[in-house]
Amino acid sequence: MYDTLVAAPPPGWSAVESPFHAGELAAQELAGVRERMDVNARRGIRDYMPEQHRQFFAEQPFMVLGGVDAAGQPWATLRIGEPGFVSTPDERTLRIAGHSLKGDPLASAWKAGALLGGLGIQPATRRRNRVNGVVTSVDENAITVAVSQSYGNCAKYIQSRTPTPIDFGKQARDDEAPVITDHLSDADRELIANADTFFIASANTSDDAGIGRGADVSHRGGKPGFIRIDSKHALTTPDFSGNLFFNTIGNLMRDPRAGLLVIDFVSGDLLYLAVDAEVIWEGKDLESFEGAERLIRWRVREVRRTRSALPLRWSGVQYAPQLAKTGSWTKAPSAWRTLNVAEVRDEAPGIKSFYFEPTDDEPLASFAPGQFLPIRLNIPGLAAPLIRTYTLSDAHDGKRYRITVKREGVASTWLHEHIDAGSVMETKTPSGAFVLDRTSSRPIVFVSAGIGITPMIAMLNSVRSNNDRAQPEHVYFIHGARRAIDRPFADELDAAAQAFPQLSVHLRDAQRVDIDYLRSVLPFGDYDFYLCGPAAFMQDLYTGLRALNVADDRIRFEAFGPASVKRTERSAAVAPIVPVRDPELMSKVIFMRSQKTAQWSPEDGSLLDFAEANGVAVASNCRSGVCGTCSTRLLSGDVAYPVPCEGEVEPGHALICSAIPAKTGPGEDSVVVLDA
């Protein structure tokens, strides 16, 4: 029934020359992976597009492109169209029809001989595939590309969101030209501060790059705040563990010019940045970016912003699971900045607001509503300065910070008694992971008690001030205090209720805000909950909401004190780790649907490599145990994972890009049967 086959080399890079140029090889050498990549990359990089990539490109409503303009400046941009606008007449030819968007800096750059990097990305499924090549012709608004390199990328750090077209014929108004400046505006910094995704275009156009010469475009993702705003002319981003090809960094080592693209997924604004890069391989600054293996500092030379240019709107975001292993980032540990205290205002008995302004011409760093401001107090009589964090209690306006402090400790008492208008204060860049998600379209419920009102008022003011963004259907502001007189922001809340029809304010005095009260004031619906207050208050609300089947990821909170709220544990599938079998033993692998069988030995590599070597077509993408594309039903037998996988393994399945046959008993060869 089955044919016994002799293994042939797996498909991959067929040229004798390395697919990498000298800059990429140098970066791999610095990272200690050059020899490993010489093997892995030759398996994963092809000089043609496999069938699954060709089908994938044809399914997308947009494609990310990278190229260079007439001056050699790289730019990352988008091209859109009805699915099918990207086609592949054959495995070495890519045809991109559709159209460019208003303000596209590469709109006039596409001509025969131009270098092009392409990225097909499907955020909803976290799939992406890369293709690089040279433009051979441009006709009828379509770009034809001769493909030189094609390969899949892992799903790491891709945030899941689904696009919906508004109208592919609709672009930014013709009378609204892109705004071009040499620095980041307040609006630009706000967009960047809240971004969880951006794209980088880079290039090596040198003739001595040989077979590796070309343009490239890649994706970067992280928690909001992972693009650190150092000034109106400078940014810093972490470089996490990826496919280790070092295409982007390798290009930057040869030419530091790059183009960044940040998308506002709510308004459709596109922010293009022309930058110069500096790669930071080591040093103390890495300590401020948990999870980063390197940093890249970007000097901003040119900023272009086109409003409402992208005719797609997006669902709410689901963050990539890998982000759980990265931190919330601040400026370098020693980067304290002195600000003026412009005003001090009494809000309620024992509660004051402090307003800070810059002492120089540098703008205030942007922040997301909900984040806090670290401050340092030099109090006489204490051996060391006190460092405290206070929630910013107003939306970012680029001019002032506001913190609102209750007098209840050494630091807060010092602020109340000694800090007046005209004082100065040492601060750091705002930080914190408790932030408002403006990409969600669900109604919002803010619930707070006591001084926990501070992040909620900041979030509410941010919703009100962002008139260019899609507004939530409704906002519920629920707050509890011991007495009405103890509530800060009474006038602010009253004005908000009068001016914002979508807002319902519910204030409770002398009685606790509990789950029964929430049920009494909230109509039945699907909400995003934001909670802040004392520990017992937080835990009771969280437990009550979970008991009502509110999904864990719909409940965000900022509690006082470390780990004061215990989340409901969620089960996660874990890739099975089985001891690797004796390398001297052989294994029989049966591919049931293909009706083929072959003998596997350790030098044959993973089961994916083995399947491809034996002519068995299996879908794959990252080839590193992350994306799950290669998940194949395991009909019988056992597999092992020499290196633990990050991706989830469904029961009865195997991630064959990382799996090998496992020993079943002492001295026995194994038999693995796959549904492939």
Q: pLDDT tens for residues 415-451?
A: 999 999 999 999 988 877 788 887 777 899 999 999 9
DSSP 412-477: HHHHHHH--TT-EEEE---B-S----TT--S-EEEEEEGGGHHHHHHHHHHHHH-TTSPPPS-EEE
* Cα 119–chain centre separation: 16
pLDDT at position 97: 95
User: If we measure between CA atoms, which residue out of 383, 457, 374, 375 comes closest to residue 423?
Assistant: 375
pLDDT band at 333 (very low <50, low <70, confident <90, very high): very low
- Lowest-confidence pick of 85-89, 151-155, 499-503: 151-155
Q: Does the pTM exceed 0.85?
A: no
State the pLDDT confidence band at 605, using cuts at 50, 70 and 90: confident
Cα distances from 519 to residues 514, 524, 541, 549, 583, in angstroms, run 9, 8, 11, 13, 62
- All domains of the chain, ordered by start, with CATH? 22-325 (2.30.110.10), 337-427 (2.40.30.10), 444-559 (3.40.50.80), 587-674 (3.10.20.30)
Sheet containing strand 653-655, strands side by side = 3-4, 596-600, 587-591, 670-674, 631-636, 653-655
- Judge whether residue 625 has pLDDT over 80: no
Q: What's the confidence (pLDDT) of residue 557?
A: 84
Of 65-69, 75-79, 565-569, the least confident? 565-569
Give the pLDDT confidence score for residue 421 in this predicted structure. Answer: 95
pLDDT of res. 10? 47
Closest C-alpha to 291, from 239, 332, 334? 239
Give the highest mean pLDDT range of 37-46, 146-155, 561-570.
146-155
* pLDDT value for 559: 52
Per the structure block, which two tokens stand in for 627? 């994306």
pLDDT value for 563: 38
**pLDDT mean across residues, the chain:** 84
Give the tens place of pLDDT for each residue, 246-291.
899 999 999 999 999 999 998 889 999 999 999 998 887 787 777 7
Percentage with pLDDT > 90 across the chain: 44
Q: What is the pLDDT of residues 572-602, one digit of tens each?
A: 333 333 333 344 456 889 998 888 988 887 7
CA 75 to chain centre: 20
**pLDDT score of 331 more than 50:** no
> Residue range 20-48: average pLDDT?
82
Q: Are strands 197-204 and 214-221 parallel, antiparallel or unpaired?
A: antiparallel
**pLDDT above 60 for 467:** no
Flag whether pLDDT at 569 surpasses 60: no
Task: Round to whole Å and give the CA distance between 161 and 314.
Answer: 6
pLDDT tens for 628-670 read 678 898 988 888 887 666 566 878 889 898 888 886 555 556 8
CA 277 from chain centre, in angstroms, equals: 20
Question: Is it the case that residue 353 has pLDDT exceeding 50?
Answer: yes
Report which of 656, 633, 634, 632 is spatially closest to residue 645, judged by C-alpha positions: 656
167 pLDDT band, cuts 50/70/90, is low
The pLDDT tens digits of the residues spanning 214-242 come to: 999 999 998 888 999 988 899 999 998 77
Dump strand ranges (E) for 264-323. Answer: 270-280, 294-306, 312-314
Whether pLDDT at 82 is above 70: yes
The Cα 499–Cα 659 span in angstroms is 60
* Residue bearing tokens 């890079």: 13
pLDDT bin (cut points 50, 70, 90) of residue 565 is low
User: What's the confidence (pLDDT) of residue 496?
Assistant: 92
Q: 216: closest CA among 16, 23, 32? A: 23
Structure confidence at residue 621 (pLDDT): 59
Sign of CA dihedral 648, 653, 654, 655: negative
116-134 core/surface letters (b: 16 or more CB in 10 A; e: else): bbbbbbbbebbbbbbbbbb
Is 648 in a helix, a strand, or coil?
A: coil
For the four alpha carbons of 128, 129, 134 and 140, in that order, the dihedral sign comes to: negative
How far, in Å, CA of 635 to CA of 619, rounded? 18
pLDDT tens per residue, range 385-410: 787 889 999 998 888 999 999 998 88
pLDDT of residue 513: 94
Task: Give the residue with greater pLDDT, 452 vs 471.
Answer: 452
Question: E-strand spans in 264-379?
Answer: 270-280, 294-306, 312-314, 337-348, 351-358, 372-377
Calculate mean pLDDT across residues 80-102. 93
Q: How far, in Å, CA of 505 to CA of 474, rounded? A: 11
The residue whose two tokens read 């630009």 is 188
Q: Is the pLDDT of residue 7 over 80?
A: no
Span 473-526, pLDDT tens digits: 899 999 999 999 999 999 999 999 998 999 999 999 988 899 999 999 998 788
